[in-house]
Structure 1
Amino acid sequence: MTDSSSRHTPQGIVLLFVPVFIMLGPVLISPIIGSLFQQFAGEPYANVLVPLLLTAPALCLALCSPVAGFLANRIGGKRVLVFSLAFYGVVGAAPMFVSSLHGMLFFRILLGVAEAGIITGGMVLTASYFRGDERQKWIAWQNVALPLIGAALLYAVGVVSQTNWQNTFGLYGLSLIIFIAAAFVLFEPEKQQAESTNHAPESKVRIPVTTMLLLAAIAIPGSLSFYAVPVKLSFILREMGETSPAGVGELMSMGLIFGSPAGALLARLVKHWRFSYGLVCAMLLMALGLIMLGIAESKTMMMAAVIIQQAGGGLMLVVALTLVLHIAPKGQSGIYSGYWWLVYTLANFATPLILTALDVLTGSSAATMLTFGVIVAAVSGWLLFARPLATRMVSASETNSATGANTSAAGAGHE
C-alpha cells in the first residue's frame, strides 16, 4: 500500500496547492477593501455590497460544496478539479476588467462556485490516491504549505496593489498554472472511473443521519473555535490601546506561519491516536489560546495565545479531514467532503454573530474570548465523554462502506 501511494508523489505535490485557492478568496481582497469602499462610495448600498465582495465566495462555497461533491463522485474528481481551476482563474481575474460594483459581485459569486469544485475535487483525489498513514501525511503537508504560501501571496498583494487596486485580482490567474499541472499530472483512478459510470443508486449515496450528526458535532465547534480569533483579535487589541491594523496583521501572521504548520506536524506525531483523542487535543489547544487571549495583558502573551490557538486549528483540520475521508464509503468521498465543507463554512459565517451576542453578555471582547474559551474546553470534555457514541457512528459508516467494496484502510492506526 505504501509503495502504491509513493508512486503518487507527483500527484500529491500538485494537490498541495489546491487548498491555497480557497484561502485566496478572502486573502487577496482583504487588503484592498478600503480602496473598494473609496472607489464605490457613491454607489447605492455600497456599505452592504462591498463587504459582500469579501464574503460571497465563502457562502457560495458552502452552498455549492454538496453539489460539487456529488459531481466529483459522478463524473470523476479530476474532471471537477481541472475544470474548476480553469474557471477559478477566469472569473477570479475578471474584475480587473470590470468597472461596476454589481459586475464584480457577480464574478465573486462565480468564484465561490469554482472554490467548491476545487476543494471537493481535491479531497476526492486525495482519497483515491492515498490510503491510511500516507493519506494523513499529505493532508498534513497541505496544511503546512497553506499558511507559508499565503504569507508570500500577502506580500505579493502589497506589491501589486500599489500601482492599481484592480491589479490584485490578476493574482487569481495563478490557478491557471496549477490547472496546466493538474491536467497533465493528475489522473482519474480506474476504480473511480468505473464508479462514475456505474454509480450507486441514489438511495445508497445518502449520508446516514448519525454520521451527519457526528460530522456536524465536529465541524461546528471546530469552525467556531478556529475563526474566533480572526473575528475578535482587532477588537481585543483596540481595548488594549492598539489601533494600528499592522498590529493585527503581525499577530495573525505569526499564528499562520508558526501555529498552523505546528498543528499539522503535531497531527503526524499523534497519528496513532484515536480520532476522538486527536480532536479533543485540538479543541483543548484552541480553548487554551482563547482563554490566554481573554486574560492577556501584553502583546507577547497575545502572540503566544494566537500561535497556540492556530496550532489547535491546524491539528483539528488534519484530524477532521482524515476522519471525513476515512468514514466515507467507497466511491462517496465527494458526497462526504461536500457535506463537511457545507457545515464547516456555514459555522464560519455564524462565528461573528455568536461572538457579538456574547459581547452583549460579557461587556468586552476580552471577556468574550475568555468565556468562549471556557465553553470550547467544556465542549472538548463532552467530545471525550461522547467518544463511545462517536465510535459507534464511525463503525456504522465503515459497515456501510463495506457493503459495496473493501473498506479503505485510512486511519487504521486511529481505531
Structure 2
Amino acid sequence: MTDSSSRHTPQGIVLLFVPVFIMLGPVLISPIIGSLFQQFAGEPYANVLVPLLLTAPALCLALCSPVAGFLANRIGGKKVLVFSLAFYGVVGAAPMFVSSLHGMLFFRILLGVAEAGIITGGMVLTASYFSGDDRQKWIAWQNVALPLIGAALLYAVGIVSQTNWQNTFGLYGLSLIIFVAAAFVLFEPEKQLAASTHHAPASKVRIPVTTMLLLAAIAIPGSLSFYAVPVKLSFILREMGETSPAVVGELMSMGLIFGSPAGALLARLVKHWRFSYGLVCAMLLMAAGLIMLGIAESKAMMMAAVIIQQAGGGLMLVVALTLVLHMAPKGQSGIYSGYWWLVYTLANFATPLVLTALDVLTGSSAATMLTFGVIVAAISGWLLFARPLATSMVSASDANSATRANTSAAGAGHE
C-alpha cells in the first residue's frame, strides 16, 4: 500500500458506502409496490403514478447528474456529497408521514436529485484522493461492497415491511449515519482548484465531442447489456413454464451476491491490462451470460448464466468508472462523471424498449437474449482499436495526476 493510499484509507472507507444509496432508490421500494397499488387503487391514474414511485428517482438522477457534477467541481465534492446525503435521508424518509400519492411522488423526485449529488460528489472525491492503482482498487471495493450491503438491506426491507409498508421508507434515513461520517472524515482536497476555475469560460469546462461519443459508445451497450437480465429473466422463465417470482428473486440474488463482486475482483486481477482489454473482457462475459440464457434448458444453467453476466457487469463498471476519472482533466471529474451517469442511466431506461423491439423480430424472450448476446459480442471488438483506451487501467499518468500534490497537502492539513 502506498503512503498516499494509507493516508486516505479512512476517506476510502467512507466512500465505500456512497454508491449504496443509489441502489437503495429502487431496492427499498420494489418489495412494497404491490402494497402501494392496493393503497392507492382508487386514485386517478394510479396505474401510471405508482410505477413512477419506483422509476422517478433514477430518471432525476440521470437528468440532474451533469448539474451536480458541475457544482461538485465549482464548490467542492465534499460540500455536494455531504449536503446530498443529508437531503437524501430527509426526503427519502418523508413518505413515512405523507398520505397522498402525489406527495410521495414529489419526494421521490427530490430523492433522485439527492442521488445525483451523492454519486457525482463521491466520484469527484475518489478522483481527488486516489490515482492509478489506488483509485482502481477503491472503485473495485465499492463495487464489491455494493451488492453485499444491498443483499443485507433487502433482508431488512422484508422485516420492516411486515410491520407497516410506510416504515420501509425510514430505511432511507440510514444515509444520515454516513452523512455524519462524511462530514467529519472527508476533506475538500481541491479548494484552491475550485476557486481558480470559478470564473473559467464555459468553453474550458466542456467535454470534447469525441470524448462524449467514446464514453457514450461504452455506456450505452454496457448499460443495455447489464440491465437486460433483470428486464427479461422473468419472461424467459415463463417460457420455460416457471412462473414463481421466488425463482426470479433467487437467480437474481445469486448474480448480485456472487457475480457482481467477482467481476469487481477480476478487475483487480487484470489491473495492468489496457482499458480496451478490460472493457472487451467485460462485454464478452456479459455476452456469454446472455447467450447462455438464450439456450438454457435448466435452472442450474440459468443460474450460471446470470452469475457470469453479472460478473461481466461488475467488471465493466469498475473499468468504465476508472476510465471516466482517468480521462477527466483536473478540476473536471464531476462534469465527466455527471455526463457518464446521464448516458448510462438513460440507456437503462431504454433497455425494455430495445429488447421489446427485438422480441418482435425474434419471436421469444429466449431468442432475444441469444440474439442480443451475439450482437454485444460482435460490437465489442471496436474497443480494441480506440486509441484513448490503449493505456493501462492503473496508469497514474492521467489528467488528474497533477492534482495529487494539492490533495496530499490538503490531507496533511486535515490530519
**Shift of the alpha carbon at 1:386?**
4.2
- State whether residues 189 and 410 of structure 2, in contact with CA within 8 Å, keep that contact through their aligned partners in structure 1: no
**Shift of the alpha carbon at 1:163?**
1.2
- State whether residues 131 and 410 of structure 1, in contact with CA within 8 Å, keep that contact through their aligned partners in structure 2: no
- State the alpha-carbon separation in 2 of the partners of residues 119 and 56 from structure 1: 16
**Counterparts in 2 of 1:393 and 1:8: CA distance versus 1, 3 Å:** closer
- State whether residues 133 and 411 of structure 1, in contact with CA within 8 Å, keep that contact through their aligned partners in structure 2: no
Question: Hey, what does 1:69 align to over in structure 2?
Answer: 69
- State whether residues 128 and 400 of structure 2, in contact with CA within 8 Å, keep that contact through their aligned partners in structure 1: no
Question: Hey, what does 2:13 align to over in structure 1?
Answer: 13
Quick one: percent identity of the two aligned structures? 95
Q: Secondary structure at the match of 1:87?
A: helix
Q: Which moved more, 1:191-200 or 1:111-120?
A: 191-200
**Shift of the alpha carbon at 1:400?**
11
- State whether residues 326 and 410 of structure 1, in contact with CA within 8 Å, keep that contact through their aligned partners in structure 2: no
**Shift of the alpha carbon at 1:192?**
5.2
Q: Secondary structure at the match of 2:272?
A: coil
- State whether residues 4 and 408 of structure 2, in contact with CA within 8 Å, keep that contact through their aligned partners in structure 1: no
- State the alpha-carbon separation in 1 of the partners of residues 404 and 189 from structure 2: 17
Q: Secondary structure at the match of 2:406?
A: coil
- State the alpha-carbon separation in 2 of the partners of residues 409 and 376 from structure 1: 45
**Shift of the alpha carbon at 1:381?**
1.7
- State the alpha-carbon separation in 2 of the partners of residues 395 and 28 from structure 1: 38
- State whether residues 30 and 54 of structure 1, in contact with CA within 8 Å, keep that contact through their aligned partners in structure 2: yes
Q: What is the alpha-carbon root mean square deviation over aligned residues?
A: 4.2
- State the alpha-carbon separation in 1 of the partners of residues 399 and 78 from structure 2: 27
- State the alpha-carbon separation in 1 of the partners of residues 184 and 374 from structure 2: 49
- State the alpha-carbon separation in 1 of the partners of residues 131 and 403 from structure 2: 19
Q: Secondary structure at the match of 2:243?
A: coil
- State whether residues 267 and 278 of structure 1, in contact with CA within 8 Å, keep that contact through their aligned partners in structure 2: yes
- State the alpha-carbon separation in 2 of the partners of residues 302 and 363 from structure 1: 20
**Shift of the alpha carbon at 1:2?**
2.4
Which runs of 5 or more residues in structure 1 are unaligned?
none
**Counterparts in 2 of 1:279 and 1:97: CA distance versus 1, 3 Å:** same
**Counterparts in 2 of 1:194 and 1:50: CA distance versus 1, 3 Å:** closer
**Counterparts in 2 of 1:395 and 1:255: CA distance versus 1, 3 Å:** closer
Figure out how many residues of one structure are paired with residues of the other and give that number. 415
TM-score normalised to the size of structure 1? 0.93
**Shift of the alpha carbon at 1:241?**
1.1
Deviations 1:359-399 (A, max 9, x none): 11111110000000000001112222445787799999968
- State the alpha-carbon separation in 2 of the partners of residues 239 and 411 from structure 1: 57
- State whether residues 14 and 178 of structure 2, in contact with CA within 8 Å, keep that contact through their aligned partners in structure 1: yes
- State the alpha-carbon separation in 1 of the partners of residues 394 and 329 from structure 2: 11
**Shift of the alpha carbon at 1:34?**
0.6
- State whether residues 66 and 335 of structure 2, in contact with CA within 8 Å, keep that contact through their aligned partners in structure 1: yes
**Counterparts in 2 of 1:192 and 1:245: CA distance versus 1, 3 Å:** farther
Q: Which moved more, 1:32-41 or 1:389-398?
A: 389-398
**Counterparts in 2 of 1:140 and 1:404: CA distance versus 1, 3 Å:** closer
**Counterparts in 2 of 1:357 and 1:43: CA distance versus 1, 3 Å:** same
- State whether residues 293 and 305 of structure 1, in contact with CA within 8 Å, keep that contact through their aligned partners in structure 2: yes
- State whether residues 190 and 407 of structure 2, in contact with CA within 8 Å, keep that contact through their aligned partners in structure 1: no
**Counterparts in 2 of 1:398 and 1:178: CA distance versus 1, 3 Å:** closer
Deviations 1:44-63 (A, max 9, x none): 11111010000000000000
**Counterparts in 2 of 1:312 and 1:414: CA distance versus 1, 3 Å:** farther
**Counterparts in 2 of 1:352 and 1:257: CA distance versus 1, 3 Å:** same
Deviations 1:270-324 (A, max 9, x none): 1000000000000000000000000000000000000000000000000000000
- State the alpha-carbon separation in 1 of the partners of residues 177 and 412 from structure 2: 35
Which runs of 5 or more residues in structure 2 are unaligned?
none
Deviations 1:337-361 (A, max 9, x none): 0000000000000000000111111
**Counterparts in 2 of 1:307 and 1:404: CA distance versus 1, 3 Å:** closer
Question: Hey, what does 2:178 align to over in structure 1?
Answer: 178
